[in-house]
Chains A and B, each alone.
Chain A
Amino acid sequence: MEQATSDVLQDLRARVAKLDCTAHRVQAVLPFGDPTIDARLPNGGLAVGALHEVAGGGNGVVDGATAALFAAGIAARTSGKVLWCMTRRDLFAAALAQAGLGPDRVIYLEAGDEKSLLASFEEGARHGCLGAVVAEVAKLSMTASRRLHLAAETSGTMAIAVRRWRRQTEAADFGQPTAAATRWRVSALPSEPLPVPGIGRARWHLELIRCRAGESADFFVEACDGEGRLRISSDLADRSLDARDGRRRA
């Protein structure tokens, strides 16, 4: 009797697994290339066929400068063309090129409103021949994000939503749940000190706020280099938690 029950269960499990198309597909990942960050992510990197969310911290929620560069750094390390959807025209292509995302690779899409932006974003994520799709969105509902995530999952294209709001107060929206696989917040930190007057390599406080099948974490990193790679900041890496908190408050 027990044997029969377990057989039925086995059979059911097999059938469910067959229906669940994601289960038997090996989840491809795009590692950051830095062991400290990759160790905190499931499978050792950002899932390729998935939706990821990035927002800036502080004033970055309005200008989205750090978030855009972080997204550009990730997109630069994929191969193929990149579709960048936006409603506001203030992205500077030369900066993307300096993060490794050259002008030949980015196709910009300017949508009139958020609705057509999301539709184009989804179309891009569904297509499958792009390296990555980036969209600067303000509102991202659960339904919209689930659609995007499914589209990215079926095509194996990385979809990155750069969250960017019109006003500082609207940024509370970032607390709302979405279907994104990871959620990041990137805030600018004072740059690396130089022995001479000037500004060194930019540094970020990178917070992994939410991570599906993983734990949240935060890192102090040096911003994207010419190939879009991050690196754990050497003099901040081993700092104790108290000191980091002190720094954050300053």
Chain B
Amino acid sequence: MGADAPKATTAIILVARHGSQQLVTAANAEAHRLGLRPGMPATKAQALVPELVVHQADPEADAKALERLAVWALRYTPIVATDAPDGLVLDTAGADHLHGGERAMLNDIVQRLNDAGITARVAISDTRGASHALARHSADPATIAPSGRPLAAITSMPVAALRLPASMVHDLRRLGFDRVSDLCATPRAPLALRFGPIVGRRLDQALGDAGDPIDPLRPADMIEVRRTFVEPIGAAETIARYVGKLVTELCAILEEKGQGVLRADLVCQLVDGRVQAVRVGTAKPLRDIKRLTRLLCDKIETIDPGFGIESLRLAATLVQSVTPAQSATSLLETAEADVTDLVDILINRLGKSALYRLAPAQSDVPERSFIKVAPTAPDTGSSWPTDWPRPSRLLNSPEQIQTVALLPDNPPVSFTWRGARRRVKRADGPERVFGEWWKTDAELIAVRDYFRVEDEAGERFWIFRAGDGENAATGSHHWFMHGIFG
């Protein structure tokens, strides 16, 4: 709405016709504060709050927006579905390590949605039902349920958490079933007689006793190929053979469109309705049949075919146009060999953060003198200054040592590190490193004096004194071990 958008302090409700009356379908935070709830008649709401802004609900537009969001969520995992009216289901099994673990992934989801102006509640658990309940009814907006015990996670949830129709929840509560634990403790047969099989099924699904397949979303313009089998397949070799065929087909389509894959998903539809997916990513747009097959086949062992795979679908979920490049000829000097394929293989195996190159950063503080860049980043040709020798091992955090040293600018005569006392035979320094005042106030006058020292056995260390040896404000004047020279 841009500039016309109402202020955050305005109470807004959405209304929709329900039978003969207008009911509130959604209320913003301010309206909630004023006591308006979804389900109450619109006239009553208007009577309660005089300057209420009322909009007609547009479920179709909502559904479309949710679908757009689901397409965005494909960045996390290949299996994403909308959970109308207000949720998304993501099957993140085997995908979380690529985003730095479950907690990091949840934080990332919440952060990115927040940046887009969406307040999200997320939960990870063993089953779709339990995640649905936790995301909507848990106190924590980002919950991770411990694996293996879905019952413990949802037992104290209200009955409404079980994905049952609203009228049924109402009836259950009237009968005295407030929490999921109440339902678990009741014999199933009378419940089924009164409410039909759905209560028992939802309970089983939440506890992981019944299947709960997710029908993954497929954007209309996605490039994909599929193959359905008359007889379900299960052997790794068979899967590999068909993956090879699918990749050939996919690459032919990509060739036609002049595009290459940045991210490809292999989705296996199992006989029992479950869906298993494998995702591979590439550093550069890729259209090479052999390399793409290799990447996918590397991951076949993560597929659990169960009773067999009914159909395989290979989709290029992220594509980029490929710009043809001049390949080296024998006239030119031999170009440096391309290792992008190796990088792709290793990244898909270990996660994106496991592979990197270190590039020089403009900083004199040793631990800040490098930054991680992508392994396939273009060469810069820059390097670190070579005036001062640097140790081949840099301790992750400097360790305090006990020293005997003359102030202000002499190296120590001896020092004790990790319980071993060493006498300094030779020393070089100091090399003064100033704090970076633009980073924090505390570094405004902070100073480190680095010394290179050699003990009697010939081992060389990099030690520093925090402070300049005269002014106590420049540092604690303790000595620290920071590195070991080769």
Q: Is A177 an interface residue (CB 8 A)?
A: no
Q: Is A63 an interface residue (CB 8 A)?
A: yes
> Which residues of A, 57-109, contact B by the 8 Å Cβ criterion?
58-59, 63-70, 72, 79-81, 83, 89-99, 102-104, 106-109
Q: Is B349 an interface residue (CB 8 A)?
A: yes
What distance in Å separates the Cβ of B94 from its nearest Cβ neighbour in chain A? 15
Report how far A223 CA is from B454 CA in the complex, Å. Answer: 15
Report how far A123 CA is from B339 CA in the complex, Å. Answer: 12
Is the CB–CB distance between B369 and A112 below 8 Å? no
Q: Is B394 an interface residue (CB 8 A)?
A: yes
Listed residue (A95, A186, A203) with the most chain B CB atoms within 10 angstroms of its CB:
A95
A188 touches which of B337, B355, B459 (Cβ 8 Å): B459
Report how far A129 CA is from B291 CA in the complex, Å. Answer: 15
Which stretch of B196-204, B420-428, B467-475 is in the interface?
B420-428
Chain A interfacial residues counted at CB < 8 A: 60
Report how far A211 CA is from B454 CA in the complex, Å. Answer: 31
Report how far A199 CA is from B424 CA in the complex, Å. Answer: 11
Task: List residues of B whose CB falls within 8 A of some A CB.
Answer: 336-339, 341-343, 345-346, 349-350, 353-360, 366, 369-370, 375, 379-384, 386, 389-396, 425-428, 452, 454, 456-460, 483-486
Is the CB–CB distance between A81 and B336 below 8 Å? yes
Ordered nearest first, which 4 A-B pairs have the shortest CB separation? A69-B486, A129-B337, A92-B394, A190-B458
Q: Is A111 an interface residue (CB 8 A)?
A: yes
Is the CB–CB distance between B393 and A68 below 8 Å? yes
Is the CB–CB distance between A199 and B428 below 8 Å? yes
* Chain A residue contacts of B346, Cβ below 8 A: 109, 120, 123-124
Closest to B360 in A: A103
* Chain B residue contacts of A190, Cβ below 8 A: 425-426, 454, 456-458
Provided the pairs A103-B359, A108-B355 are in contact, do residues A94 and B454 lie with their beta carbons within 8 angstroms? no
A-B contact pairs, 5 of them (CB 8 A): A65-B391, A93-B370, A94-B390, A108-B357, A197-B427
A94 touches which of B370, B381, B395, B457 (Cβ 8 Å): B370
Closest to A203 in B: B458
> Which residues of A, 167-212, contact B by the 8 Å Cβ criterion?
186-191, 197-199, 202-203
Is the CB–CB distance between B458 and A92 below 8 Å? no
Is the CB–CB distance between B485 and A65 below 8 Å? yes
Report how far A239 CA is from B345 CA in the complex, Å. Answer: 51
Report how far A112 CA is from B456 CA in the complex, Å. Answer: 36
* Chain A residue contacts of B339, Cβ below 8 A: 80-81, 83, 107, 127, 129-130
Is the CB–CB distance between B394 and A129 below 8 Å? no
Is the CB–CB distance between A65 and B350 below 8 Å? no
Provided the pairs A58-B459, A120-B350 are in contact, do residues A103 and B358 lie with their beta carbons within 8 angstroms? yes
Q: Is A226 an interface residue (CB 8 A)?
A: yes
* Chain B residue contacts of A34, Cβ below 8 A: none
What distance in Å separates the Cβ of B459 from its nearest Cβ neighbour in chain A? 5
Listed residue (B338, B369, B384) with the most chain A CB atoms within 10 angstroms of its CB:
B384
Is the CB–CB distance between B343 and A107 below 8 Å? yes
Report how far A104 CA is from B359 CA in the complex, Å. Answer: 7
Report how far A199 CA is from B429 CA in the complex, Å. Answer: 10
Q: Is A14 an interface residue (CB 8 A)?
A: no
B350 touches which of A102, A111, A188, A189 (Cβ 8 Å): A111
> Which residues of A, 122-145, contact B by the 8 Å Cβ criterion?
123-124, 127-130
Q: Is A110 an interface residue (CB 8 A)?
A: yes
Is the CB–CB distance between B393 and A104 below 8 Å? no
Provided the pairs A91-B392, A98-B386 are in contact, do residues A65 and B484 lie with their beta carbons within 8 angstroms? yes
